[in-house]
Chain A
Amino acid sequence: MLELRNVSYTVTDNGKKEILKNINLTIDDRFVVITGPNGSGKSTLAKIIAGIITPTSGQILLDGVDITEMSITERAKAGISFAFQQPVRFKGITVKDLINLAAGRKLNFTEACNYLSEVGLCARDYINREVNASLSGGELKRIEIAMILARGTKLSLFDEPEAGIDLWSFNSLIRVFEAMHESIKGNILIISHQERILEIADKIVLLKDGEISQIGTKDEIMPQILGTSGVCPQIKE
Protein backbone atom coordinates (compact mmCIF):
# COMPACT_ATOMS: atom_id res chain seq x y z
CA MET A 1 0.00 0.00 0.00
CA LEU A 2 1.26 3.45 -0.96
CA GLU A 3 0.17 6.58 0.80
CA LEU A 4 0.80 10.18 -0.22
CA ARG A 5 0.17 12.78 2.47
CA ASN A 6 -0.03 16.46 1.53
CA VAL A 7 2.56 16.06 -1.22
CA SER A 8 3.38 19.35 -2.94
CA TYR A 9 6.01 20.25 -5.49
CA THR A 10 6.93 23.77 -6.45
CA VAL A 11 9.57 24.92 -8.92
CA THR A 12 11.17 28.33 -8.71
CA ASP A 13 13.11 28.46 -11.97
CA ASN A 14 11.18 31.19 -13.76
CA GLY A 15 9.06 32.53 -10.99
CA LYS A 16 7.27 30.25 -8.58
CA LYS A 17 5.14 27.53 -10.09
CA GLU A 18 3.17 24.91 -8.21
CA ILE A 19 3.31 21.65 -10.14
CA LEU A 20 1.56 19.56 -7.49
CA LYS A 21 -0.62 20.87 -4.66
CA ASN A 22 -1.45 18.92 -1.52
CA ILE A 23 -1.82 15.49 -3.02
CA ASN A 24 -3.47 13.03 -0.63
CA LEU A 25 -3.84 9.60 -2.08
CA THR A 26 -3.91 5.98 -0.93
CA ILE A 27 -3.15 3.21 -3.39
CA ASP A 28 -4.15 -0.22 -2.18
CA ASP A 29 -6.23 -1.43 -5.11
CA ARG A 30 -5.26 -3.80 -7.88
CA PHE A 31 -5.18 -1.23 -10.68
CA VAL A 32 -5.16 2.47 -10.08
CA VAL A 33 -5.05 4.74 -13.11
CA ILE A 34 -4.01 8.36 -12.83
CA THR A 35 -5.32 10.40 -15.71
CA GLY A 36 -5.73 14.04 -16.60
CA PRO A 37 -4.79 16.60 -19.23
CA ASN A 38 -1.24 17.20 -20.41
CA GLY A 39 0.69 19.26 -17.91
CA SER A 40 -1.52 18.28 -14.99
CA GLY A 41 1.44 16.84 -13.07
CA LYS A 42 0.96 13.10 -13.66
CA SER A 43 4.53 12.26 -14.65
CA THR A 44 5.89 14.48 -11.88
CA LEU A 45 3.80 12.53 -9.39
CA ALA A 46 5.21 9.24 -10.70
CA LYS A 47 8.77 10.58 -10.41
CA ILE A 48 8.09 11.71 -6.85
CA ILE A 49 6.90 8.21 -5.95
CA ALA A 50 10.02 6.63 -7.53
CA GLY A 51 12.29 9.10 -5.74
CA ILE A 52 13.56 10.82 -8.86
CA ILE A 53 12.02 14.14 -7.80
CA THR A 54 12.01 15.27 -4.18
CA PRO A 55 8.73 16.88 -3.14
CA THR A 56 8.81 20.37 -1.66
CA SER A 57 6.68 19.15 1.22
CA GLY A 58 4.63 16.17 2.29
CA GLN A 59 5.15 12.54 3.17
CA ILE A 60 5.24 9.27 1.24
CA LEU A 61 4.63 5.93 2.97
CA LEU A 62 5.04 2.43 1.60
CA ASP A 63 3.28 -0.18 3.73
CA GLY A 64 3.31 2.29 6.60
CA VAL A 65 7.04 3.00 6.34
CA ASP A 66 8.04 6.60 5.65
CA ILE A 67 10.10 6.55 2.45
CA THR A 68 10.12 10.33 1.83
CA GLU A 69 13.85 10.60 2.53
CA MET A 70 14.83 7.42 0.70
CA SER A 71 16.93 7.54 -2.47
CA ILE A 72 15.86 6.02 -5.80
CA THR A 73 17.96 2.92 -5.03
CA GLU A 74 16.53 2.47 -1.55
CA ARG A 75 12.97 2.80 -2.85
CA ALA A 76 13.69 0.28 -5.60
CA LYS A 77 14.94 -2.13 -2.95
CA ALA A 78 11.93 -1.37 -0.74
CA GLY A 79 9.65 -2.58 -3.55
CA ILE A 80 8.92 0.16 -6.07
CA SER A 81 9.36 -0.40 -9.80
CA PHE A 82 9.05 2.32 -12.40
CA ALA A 83 8.56 1.91 -16.15
CA PHE A 84 9.58 5.12 -17.88
CA GLN A 85 7.42 6.87 -20.42
CA GLN A 86 10.48 7.13 -22.61
CA PRO A 87 12.75 4.15 -22.06
CA VAL A 88 16.48 4.76 -21.93
CA ARG A 89 18.97 3.42 -24.46
CA PHE A 90 22.35 2.00 -23.46
CA LYS A 91 25.29 1.35 -25.74
CA GLY A 92 26.75 -2.09 -25.11
CA ILE A 93 24.19 -3.21 -22.51
CA THR A 94 22.04 -6.09 -23.74
CA VAL A 95 18.41 -6.99 -23.11
CA LYS A 96 19.70 -9.92 -21.06
CA ASP A 97 21.84 -7.62 -18.89
CA LEU A 98 18.86 -5.40 -18.11
CA ILE A 99 16.49 -8.27 -17.37
CA ASN A 100 19.09 -9.81 -15.07
CA LEU A 101 19.64 -6.51 -13.27
CA ALA A 102 15.88 -6.13 -12.91
CA ALA A 103 15.50 -9.64 -11.51
CA GLY A 104 18.48 -9.09 -9.22
CA ARG A 105 20.08 -12.36 -10.32
CA LYS A 106 21.25 -14.23 -13.38
CA LEU A 107 18.23 -15.75 -15.07
CA ASN A 108 18.44 -18.84 -17.22
CA PHE A 109 17.19 -18.72 -20.80
CA THR A 110 13.75 -20.14 -19.98
CA GLU A 111 13.14 -17.61 -17.23
CA ALA A 112 14.21 -14.67 -19.38
CA CYS A 113 12.16 -16.10 -22.24
CA ASN A 114 9.06 -16.14 -20.03
CA TYR A 115 9.32 -12.43 -19.27
CA LEU A 116 10.02 -11.47 -22.86
CA SER A 117 7.28 -13.64 -24.34
CA GLU A 118 4.83 -12.02 -21.93
CA VAL A 119 5.43 -8.75 -23.79
CA GLY A 120 5.34 -10.41 -27.18
CA LEU A 121 9.07 -10.59 -27.87
CA CYS A 122 10.87 -13.77 -28.84
CA ALA A 123 13.80 -14.25 -26.48
CA ARG A 124 15.91 -15.90 -29.15
CA ASP A 125 15.75 -12.75 -31.28
CA TYR A 126 16.16 -10.23 -28.49
CA ILE A 127 18.11 -11.60 -25.53
CA ASN A 128 21.53 -10.65 -26.90
CA ARG A 129 20.48 -7.46 -28.63
CA GLU A 130 21.99 -4.24 -27.33
CA VAL A 131 19.49 -1.79 -25.89
CA ASN A 132 20.70 0.88 -28.29
CA ALA A 133 19.38 2.90 -31.20
CA SER A 134 18.87 -0.30 -33.24
CA LEU A 135 15.71 -1.05 -31.23
CA SER A 136 12.49 0.75 -32.10
CA GLY A 137 10.55 2.79 -29.56
CA GLY A 138 7.91 0.09 -29.36
CA GLU A 139 10.46 -2.65 -28.73
CA LEU A 140 12.10 -0.59 -25.99
CA LYS A 141 8.74 0.01 -24.39
CA ARG A 142 8.02 -3.72 -24.23
CA ILE A 143 11.48 -4.44 -22.78
CA GLU A 144 10.77 -1.75 -20.19
CA ILE A 145 7.59 -3.61 -19.20
CA ALA A 146 9.41 -6.98 -19.17
CA MET A 147 11.87 -5.48 -16.68
CA ILE A 148 9.01 -4.56 -14.35
CA LEU A 149 7.72 -8.14 -14.63
CA ALA A 150 11.17 -9.48 -13.77
CA ARG A 151 11.37 -7.21 -10.75
CA GLY A 152 8.04 -8.39 -9.35
CA THR A 153 7.78 -5.73 -6.64
CA LYS A 154 4.77 -4.85 -4.53
CA LEU A 155 4.27 -1.53 -6.31
CA SER A 156 4.66 -1.20 -10.07
CA LEU A 157 4.45 2.18 -11.66
CA PHE A 158 3.89 2.67 -15.40
CA ASP A 159 4.09 6.06 -17.07
CA GLU A 160 1.98 5.89 -20.22
CA PRO A 161 2.74 2.25 -21.04
CA GLU A 162 0.57 2.31 -24.15
CA ALA A 163 2.52 5.07 -25.89
CA GLY A 164 4.44 3.70 -28.86
CA ILE A 165 3.36 0.09 -28.44
CA ASP A 166 3.36 -0.55 -32.18
CA LEU A 167 1.86 -3.73 -33.54
CA TRP A 168 1.34 -5.31 -30.21
CA SER A 169 -2.27 -5.00 -29.20
CA PHE A 170 -3.83 -3.26 -26.29
CA ASN A 171 -5.44 -6.50 -25.28
CA SER A 172 -2.01 -8.02 -24.77
CA LEU A 173 -0.91 -5.08 -22.66
CA ILE A 174 -3.99 -5.39 -20.49
CA ARG A 175 -3.48 -9.14 -20.22
CA VAL A 176 0.08 -8.46 -19.01
CA PHE A 177 -1.24 -6.21 -16.26
CA GLU A 178 -3.76 -8.82 -15.22
CA ALA A 179 -1.23 -11.65 -15.24
CA MET A 180 1.15 -9.44 -13.33
CA HIS A 181 -1.37 -8.88 -10.63
CA GLU A 182 -2.14 -12.60 -10.50
CA SER A 183 1.47 -13.56 -9.89
CA ILE A 184 2.72 -10.66 -7.77
CA LYS A 185 -0.45 -9.62 -5.90
CA GLY A 186 0.92 -6.10 -5.66
CA ASN A 187 -0.51 -2.73 -6.55
CA ILE A 188 -0.25 -1.47 -10.09
CA LEU A 189 -0.31 2.26 -10.72
CA ILE A 190 -0.69 3.36 -14.32
CA ILE A 191 -0.54 6.83 -15.78
CA SER A 192 -2.63 6.82 -18.90
CA HIS A 193 -4.94 8.71 -21.20
CA GLN A 194 -6.24 5.59 -22.82
CA GLU A 195 -9.89 4.78 -22.45
CA ARG A 196 -9.22 1.05 -22.62
CA ILE A 197 -6.75 1.21 -19.78
CA LEU A 198 -9.14 3.35 -17.75
CA GLU A 199 -11.72 0.63 -18.26
CA ILE A 200 -9.74 -1.94 -16.28
CA ALA A 201 -9.11 0.45 -13.37
CA ASP A 202 -10.46 -0.32 -9.93
CA LYS A 203 -9.86 3.31 -9.10
CA ILE A 204 -9.34 6.33 -11.28
CA VAL A 205 -7.61 9.45 -10.05
CA LEU A 206 -8.25 12.56 -12.09
CA LEU A 207 -5.50 15.13 -11.85
CA LYS A 208 -6.05 18.72 -12.99
CA ASP A 209 -3.62 21.64 -12.64
CA GLY A 210 -1.59 19.78 -10.06
CA GLU A 211 -4.53 18.88 -7.87
CA ILE A 212 -6.66 15.79 -7.48
CA SER A 213 -9.98 16.87 -8.88
CA GLN A 214 -11.70 13.51 -8.45
CA ILE A 215 -11.17 9.96 -7.25
CA GLY A 216 -13.63 7.19 -7.91
CA THR A 217 -14.50 3.98 -9.70
CA LYS A 218 -14.55 3.85 -13.46
CA ASP A 219 -18.32 4.04 -13.47
CA GLU A 220 -18.19 7.25 -11.51
CA ILE A 221 -15.35 8.95 -13.36
CA MET A 222 -15.47 7.72 -16.95
CA PRO A 223 -18.69 9.46 -18.05
CA GLN A 224 -17.40 12.78 -16.77
CA ILE A 225 -13.99 12.53 -18.42
CA LEU A 226 -15.46 11.49 -21.71
CA GLY A 227 -18.32 13.97 -21.56
CA THR A 228 -16.70 17.13 -20.27
CA SER A 229 -13.19 17.11 -21.59
CA GLY A 230 -13.83 20.40 -23.36
CA VAL A 231 -12.43 19.07 -26.60
CA CYS A 232 -14.43 19.92 -29.68
CA PRO A 233 -16.53 16.97 -30.87
CA GLN A 234 -14.86 16.89 -34.28
CA ILE A 235 -11.44 16.18 -32.71
CA LYS A 236 -12.88 13.59 -30.38
CA GLU A 237 -14.26 11.62 -33.27
Chain B
Amino acid sequence: MAMKLDKIQLNLLEQVADLHEVPAGAYNIRTNGTSAGRSTTANIDIVSKEDKDGIDIIIKPGTKKESIHIPVLLSESGIEEMVYNDFHIGDDADVVIVAGCGIHNGGDLASKHDGVHSFFIGKNAKVKYVEKHYGYGDGKGEKIMNPVTVIEMGENSYFEMETAQIRGVDSTNRKTIAKLADGATLIVGEKLLTHGTQQAITEFEIDLYGEKSSAHVVSRSVAQDDSYQEFISRVYGNNECNGHTECDAIVMNNAKVTAIPEIKANHTEASLIHEAAIGKIAGEQLIKLMTLGLTEKEAEEHIISGFLK
Protein backbone atom coordinates (compact mmCIF):
# COMPACT_ATOMS: atom_id res chain seq x y z
CA MET B 1 0.00 0.00 0.00
CA ALA B 2 1.52 3.32 -0.99
CA MET B 3 1.47 5.91 1.75
CA LYS B 4 2.44 9.50 2.27
CA LEU B 5 3.42 11.14 5.50
CA ASP B 6 3.76 14.88 5.98
CA LYS B 7 6.66 16.61 7.74
CA ILE B 8 5.06 16.59 11.19
CA GLN B 9 4.21 12.93 10.87
CA LEU B 10 7.73 12.05 9.71
CA ASN B 11 9.15 13.85 12.73
CA LEU B 12 6.83 11.93 15.05
CA LEU B 13 7.81 8.71 13.32
CA GLU B 14 11.48 9.43 13.89
CA GLN B 15 10.91 10.20 17.57
CA VAL B 16 8.83 7.16 18.41
CA ALA B 17 10.38 4.55 16.14
CA ASP B 18 13.82 5.89 15.16
CA LEU B 19 12.63 5.66 11.56
CA HIS B 20 13.34 8.16 8.84
CA GLU B 21 10.99 6.58 6.36
CA VAL B 22 8.51 3.79 6.00
CA PRO B 23 10.19 0.73 7.55
CA ALA B 24 11.21 -2.54 5.97
CA GLY B 25 9.51 -5.72 7.13
CA ALA B 26 6.07 -5.84 8.70
CA TYR B 27 4.46 -2.61 9.79
CA ASN B 28 1.21 -0.85 10.44
CA ILE B 29 1.22 2.92 10.65
CA ARG B 30 -1.80 4.58 12.14
CA THR B 31 -2.21 8.31 11.62
CA ASN B 32 -5.01 10.46 13.02
CA GLY B 33 -7.30 7.58 13.80
CA THR B 34 -6.98 5.56 10.61
CA SER B 35 -4.55 3.07 9.18
CA ALA B 36 -2.19 4.89 6.84
CA GLY B 37 -0.13 1.97 5.64
CA ARG B 38 0.50 -1.67 6.24
CA SER B 39 2.92 -4.32 5.13
CA THR B 40 3.02 -7.98 6.00
CA THR B 41 5.61 -10.70 5.43
CA ALA B 42 5.47 -14.44 4.80
CA ASN B 43 5.63 -15.03 8.56
CA ILE B 44 3.84 -12.01 9.97
CA ASP B 45 0.24 -11.15 9.23
CA ILE B 46 -1.61 -8.03 10.33
CA VAL B 47 -5.42 -8.07 10.29
CA SER B 48 -7.82 -5.28 11.24
CA LYS B 49 -10.26 -6.05 14.01
CA GLU B 50 -13.91 -6.25 12.99
CA ASP B 51 -15.58 -5.33 16.27
CA LYS B 52 -13.40 -2.46 17.46
CA ASP B 53 -10.46 -0.24 16.54
CA GLY B 54 -7.22 -2.12 16.34
CA ILE B 55 -5.33 -4.95 14.74
CA ASP B 56 -4.30 -8.55 15.28
CA ILE B 57 -0.66 -9.26 14.62
CA ILE B 58 -0.05 -12.92 14.00
CA ILE B 59 3.51 -14.18 14.07
CA LYS B 60 4.04 -17.74 12.86
CA PRO B 61 5.85 -20.24 15.11
CA GLY B 62 9.57 -20.31 14.47
CA THR B 63 9.75 -16.83 12.88
CA LYS B 64 13.30 -15.62 13.44
CA LYS B 65 14.98 -12.22 13.34
CA GLU B 66 12.04 -10.27 11.98
CA SER B 67 10.78 -6.92 13.14
CA ILE B 68 7.34 -5.35 13.36
CA HIS B 69 6.76 -1.60 13.57
CA ILE B 70 3.39 -0.28 14.67
CA PRO B 71 3.70 3.45 15.33
CA VAL B 72 0.70 5.65 16.06
CA LEU B 73 0.89 9.28 14.98
CA LEU B 74 -1.54 12.01 15.94
CA SER B 75 -0.90 15.31 14.24
CA GLU B 76 -4.39 16.84 14.34
CA SER B 77 -5.62 18.53 17.49
CA GLY B 78 -8.64 17.09 19.26
CA ILE B 79 -8.39 13.43 18.26
CA GLU B 80 -9.32 10.94 20.93
CA GLU B 81 -9.02 7.24 20.27
CA MET B 82 -9.01 3.87 21.94
CA VAL B 83 -7.12 1.12 20.13
CA TYR B 84 -6.76 -2.60 20.81
CA ASN B 85 -3.76 -4.39 19.36
CA ASP B 86 -3.26 -8.09 19.98
CA PHE B 87 0.01 -9.84 19.29
CA HIS B 88 -0.08 -13.59 18.83
CA ILE B 89 3.48 -14.80 18.94
CA GLY B 90 4.04 -18.38 17.89
CA ASP B 91 6.26 -20.90 19.69
CA ASP B 92 10.02 -20.49 19.21
CA ALA B 93 9.68 -17.15 17.43
CA ASP B 94 12.35 -14.49 17.95
CA VAL B 95 11.17 -11.00 17.00
CA VAL B 96 11.53 -7.30 17.72
CA ILE B 97 8.38 -5.21 18.03
CA VAL B 98 8.61 -1.43 17.96
CA ALA B 99 5.50 0.45 19.01
CA GLY B 100 5.16 4.03 20.03
CA CYS B 101 2.88 6.98 19.98
CA GLY B 102 3.74 10.45 18.86
CA ILE B 103 1.36 13.35 19.32
CA HIS B 104 1.79 16.76 17.77
CA ASN B 105 -0.86 19.05 19.13
CA GLY B 106 -0.79 22.53 17.68
CA GLY B 107 -4.37 23.27 18.67
CA ASP B 108 -6.25 23.89 21.87
CA LEU B 109 -8.21 20.66 22.05
CA ALA B 110 -6.86 17.66 23.92
CA SER B 111 -5.36 14.85 21.87
CA LYS B 112 -5.61 11.47 23.46
CA HIS B 113 -4.39 8.02 22.56
CA ASP B 114 -5.40 5.11 24.73
CA GLY B 115 -4.15 1.73 23.67
CA VAL B 116 -4.36 -1.79 24.96
CA HIS B 117 -1.57 -4.03 23.73
CA SER B 118 -2.02 -7.69 24.54
CA PHE B 119 0.77 -10.18 23.98
CA PHE B 120 0.16 -13.89 23.84
CA ILE B 121 3.61 -15.41 23.81
CA GLY B 122 4.18 -19.01 22.78
CA LYS B 123 6.61 -21.49 24.31
CA ASN B 124 10.30 -20.64 24.03
CA ALA B 125 9.50 -17.48 22.09
CA LYS B 126 11.69 -14.44 22.50
CA VAL B 127 10.34 -10.91 22.11
CA LYS B 128 11.94 -7.55 22.42
CA TYR B 129 9.31 -4.84 22.70
CA VAL B 130 10.27 -1.18 22.44
CA GLU B 131 7.73 1.53 23.13
CA LYS B 132 8.31 5.26 23.04
CA HIS B 133 5.96 8.08 23.83
CA TYR B 134 6.52 11.54 22.55
CA GLY B 135 4.53 14.73 22.36
CA TYR B 136 5.12 18.25 21.11
CA GLY B 137 3.29 21.26 19.73
CA ASP B 138 2.64 24.73 21.13
CA GLY B 139 -1.13 24.59 21.31
CA LYS B 140 -2.88 24.63 24.68
CA GLY B 141 -4.40 21.24 23.96
CA GLU B 142 -3.19 18.49 26.25
CA LYS B 143 -1.33 15.45 24.95
CA ILE B 144 -2.62 12.43 26.78
CA MET B 145 -1.57 8.78 26.53
CA ASN B 146 -2.84 5.89 28.58
CA PRO B 147 -1.23 2.67 27.43
CA VAL B 148 -2.16 -0.70 28.88
CA THR B 149 0.10 -3.67 28.21
CA VAL B 150 -1.03 -7.20 28.96
CA ILE B 151 1.55 -9.93 28.67
CA GLU B 152 0.76 -13.62 28.87
CA MET B 153 3.95 -15.55 28.78
CA GLY B 154 4.19 -19.21 27.79
CA GLU B 155 6.70 -21.73 29.08
CA ASN B 156 10.34 -20.68 28.85
CA SER B 157 9.44 -17.57 26.89
CA TYR B 158 11.38 -14.33 27.19
CA PHE B 159 9.95 -10.84 26.97
CA GLU B 160 12.02 -7.72 27.22
CA MET B 161 10.17 -4.43 27.35
CA GLU B 162 11.81 -1.05 26.97
CA THR B 163 9.61 1.96 27.47
CA ALA B 164 10.55 5.59 27.35
CA GLN B 165 8.64 8.80 27.79
CA ILE B 166 10.91 11.80 27.81
CA ARG B 167 9.09 15.15 28.10
CA GLY B 168 6.17 16.20 25.99
CA VAL B 169 3.32 14.09 27.32
CA ASP B 170 1.00 15.96 29.67
CA SER B 171 -0.74 13.09 31.27
CA THR B 172 -0.03 9.38 31.37
CA ASN B 173 -1.57 6.53 33.22
CA ARG B 174 0.25 3.41 32.19
CA LYS B 175 -0.56 -0.07 33.30
CA THR B 176 1.42 -3.24 32.62
CA ILE B 177 0.02 -6.60 33.63
CA ALA B 178 1.99 -9.81 33.17
CA LYS B 179 1.42 -13.47 33.91
CA LEU B 180 4.35 -15.84 33.66
CA ALA B 181 4.34 -19.60 33.12
CA ASP B 182 7.15 -22.05 34.00
CA GLY B 183 10.62 -20.82 33.14
CA ALA B 184 9.40 -17.53 31.64
CA THR B 185 11.53 -14.41 32.00
CA LEU B 186 10.24 -10.85 31.95
CA ILE B 187 12.54 -7.84 31.88
CA VAL B 188 11.14 -4.32 31.99
CA GLY B 189 13.14 -1.10 31.73
CA GLU B 190 11.28 2.16 32.05
CA LYS B 191 12.67 5.63 31.45
CA LEU B 192 10.62 8.64 32.32
CA LEU B 193 11.13 12.39 32.42
CA THR B 194 8.34 14.76 33.32
CA HIS B 195 8.44 18.54 33.46
CA GLY B 196 6.10 21.50 33.65
CA THR B 197 2.85 20.36 35.22
CA GLN B 198 2.92 16.90 33.68
CA GLN B 199 1.64 13.91 35.50
CA ALA B 200 2.68 10.31 35.00
CA ILE B 201 1.43 7.27 36.81
CA THR B 202 2.93 3.90 36.01
CA GLU B 203 1.64 0.70 37.45
CA PHE B 204 3.01 -2.83 37.14
CA GLU B 205 1.25 -5.96 38.22
CA ILE B 206 3.25 -9.12 37.71
CA ASP B 207 2.13 -12.59 38.65
CA LEU B 208 4.82 -15.22 38.69
CA TYR B 209 2.77 -18.39 38.36
CA GLY B 210 5.39 -20.64 36.81
CA GLU B 211 8.14 -22.63 38.43
CA LYS B 212 11.53 -20.92 37.90
CA SER B 213 9.90 -17.90 36.32
CA SER B 214 11.53 -14.54 36.89
CA ALA B 215 10.74 -10.86 36.52
CA HIS B 216 12.90 -7.75 36.77
CA VAL B 217 11.32 -4.32 36.64
CA VAL B 218 13.64 -1.33 36.68
CA SER B 219 12.31 2.20 36.47
CA ARG B 220 14.48 5.29 36.24
CA SER B 221 12.82 8.64 36.26
CA VAL B 222 13.44 12.34 36.57
CA ALA B 223 10.70 14.70 37.77
CA GLN B 224 11.28 18.39 37.09
CA ASP B 225 9.40 21.65 37.70
CA ASP B 226 5.91 21.06 39.12
CA SER B 227 5.40 17.60 37.68
CA TYR B 228 4.13 14.57 39.52
CA GLN B 229 5.04 10.90 39.18
CA GLU B 230 3.71 7.82 40.82
CA PHE B 231 5.32 4.42 40.49
CA ILE B 232 3.38 1.39 41.66
CA SER B 233 4.85 -2.04 41.26
CA ARG B 234 3.28 -5.24 42.47
CA VAL B 235 5.17 -8.47 42.07
CA TYR B 236 3.49 -11.62 43.28
CA GLY B 237 5.42 -14.86 43.64
CA ASN B 238 3.09 -17.82 43.39
CA ASN B 239 5.69 -20.52 42.82
CA GLU B 240 9.43 -21.10 43.02
CA CYS B 241 10.45 -17.88 41.30
CA ASN B 242 12.56 -14.72 41.35
CA GLY B 243 11.10 -11.23 41.35
CA HIS B 244 12.87 -7.90 41.52
CA THR B 245 11.43 -4.42 41.27
CA GLU B 246 13.45 -1.25 41.44
CA CYS B 247 12.53 2.41 41.21
CA ASP B 248 15.17 5.08 41.12
CA ALA B 249 13.99 8.67 40.82
CA ILE B 250 15.61 12.09 40.73
CA VAL B 251 13.35 14.82 42.02
CA MET B 252 13.98 18.48 41.14
CA ASN B 253 12.43 21.91 41.67
CA ASN B 254 8.90 21.51 43.06
CA ALA B 255 8.23 18.10 41.60
CA LYS B 256 6.80 15.24 43.62
CA VAL B 257 7.41 11.52 43.28
CA THR B 258 5.67 8.62 44.98
CA ALA B 259 7.05 5.09 44.79
CA ILE B 260 5.00 2.18 46.04
CA PRO B 261 6.72 -1.15 45.55
CA GLU B 262 4.75 -4.15 46.70
CA ILE B 263 5.98 -7.73 46.78
CA LYS B 264 3.96 -10.68 47.90
CA ALA B 265 5.12 -14.26 48.36
CA ASN B 266 2.39 -16.85 48.04
CA HIS B 267 4.95 -19.65 47.99
CA THR B 268 7.87 -20.48 50.29
CA GLU B 269 10.28 -20.79 47.36
CA ALA B 270 9.47 -17.36 46.00
CA SER B 271 12.40 -14.94 46.25
CA LEU B 272 11.35 -11.31 45.89
CA ILE B 273 13.22 -8.05 46.25
CA HIS B 274 12.05 -4.47 46.04
CA GLU B 275 14.14 -1.32 46.00
CA ALA B 276 13.06 2.28 45.76
CA ALA B 277 15.16 5.41 46.00
CA ILE B 278 14.10 9.00 45.47
CA GLY B 279 16.37 11.98 45.88
CA LYS B 280 17.81 15.08 44.35
CA ILE B 281 21.03 15.03 42.30
CA ALA B 282 23.89 14.48 44.73
CA GLY B 283 25.82 17.69 45.36
CA GLU B 284 29.13 15.88 45.05
CA GLN B 285 28.23 14.69 41.54
CA LEU B 286 27.63 18.29 40.45
CA ILE B 287 30.85 19.42 42.11
CA LYS B 288 32.90 16.67 40.47
CA LEU B 289 31.73 17.64 37.00
CA MET B 290 32.24 21.32 37.77
CA THR B 291 35.88 20.59 38.69
CA LEU B 292 36.16 19.26 35.12
CA GLY B 293 35.10 22.66 33.82
CA LEU B 294 31.35 22.18 33.36
CA THR B 295 28.90 24.80 34.59
CA GLU B 296 26.34 23.69 37.16
CA LYS B 297 23.65 23.59 34.47
CA GLU B 298 25.81 21.51 32.10
CA ALA B 299 26.71 19.16 34.95
CA GLU B 300 23.02 18.69 35.75
CA GLU B 301 22.24 17.88 32.10
CA HIS B 302 25.04 15.32 31.91
CA ILE B 303 23.91 13.62 35.10
CA ILE B 304 20.29 13.41 33.93
CA SER B 305 21.05 12.21 30.43
CA GLY B 306 23.41 9.55 31.82
CA PHE B 307 20.81 8.48 34.36
CA LEU B 308 18.15 8.06 31.66
CA LYS B 309 20.47 6.57 29.04
Residues of chain A having any CB pair with chain B under 8 Å: 50, 52, 71-73, 76-77, 80-82, 84, 87-88, 90-94, 97-98, 101-102, 104, 147, 151
Contact residues in A for B220 (Cβ distance below 8 Å): 91-92
Q: How far is the CB of B124 from chain A (nearest CB, A)?
A: 31
Q: How far is the CB of B39 from chain A (nearest CB, A)?
A: 36
| Residue in B282, B289, B308 with the greatest tally of chain A CB atoms within 10 Å | B289
Within 8 A of A (CB), among B267-306: 282, 284-285, 287-296, 302-303, 305-306
CA of A90 to CA of B286 in the docked complex: distance in angstroms?
A: 10
Q: How far is the CB of B271 from chain A (nearest CB, A)?
A: 21
CA of A72 to CA of B292 in the docked complex: distance in angstroms?
A: 9
| Residue in B290, B292, B302 with the greatest tally of chain A CB atoms within 10 Å | B292
CA of A178 to CA of B247 in the docked complex: distance in angstroms?
A: 45
CA of A77 to CA of B305 in the docked complex: distance in angstroms?
A: 23
Contact residues in A for B289 (Cβ distance below 8 Å): 101
CB atoms of B291 and A91 under 8 A apart: no
CB atoms of B284 and A101 under 8 A apart: no
CB atoms of B292 and A88 under 8 A apart: no
Interface size class of B (residues with CB under 8 A): 20 to 34
Interface of A is mostly: mixed
* A93-B284 in contact given A50-B291, A81-B291, A82-B291 (Cβ < 8 Å): no
30 contacts between A and B (CB under 8 A): A50-B291, A52-B287, A72-B287, A72-B290, A72-B291, A73-B294, A73-B295, A76-B291, A76-B293, A80-B291, A84-B284, A84-B288, A87-B288, A88-B285, A88-B287, A88-B288, A90-B303, A90-B306, A91-B306, A91-B307, A92-B220, A92-B306, A92-B309, A93-B303, A97-B302, A98-B292, A101-B292, A101-B294, A147-B292, A151-B292
CB atoms of A97 and B306 under 8 A apart: yes
In the complex, B45 has a CB within 8 A of chain A: no
Q: How far is the CB of A26 from chain B (nearest CB, A)?
A: 22
CB-based nearest B residue for A76: B293
CA of A72 to CA of B308 in the docked complex: distance in angstroms?
A: 26
Contact residues in A for B282 (Cβ distance below 8 Å): 88
Contact residues in A for B309 (Cβ distance below 8 Å): 92
CB-based nearest A residue for B289: A101
B292 partner, pick from A71, A92, A102, beta carbons under 8 A: A102
CB atoms of A104 and B291 under 8 A apart: no
CB atoms of A92 and B308 under 8 A apart: yes
CB-based nearest B residue for A150: B292
CB atoms of B306 and A104 under 8 A apart: no
Q: How far is the CB of B303 from chain A (nearest CB, A)?
A: 7
CB-based nearest A residue for B305: A92
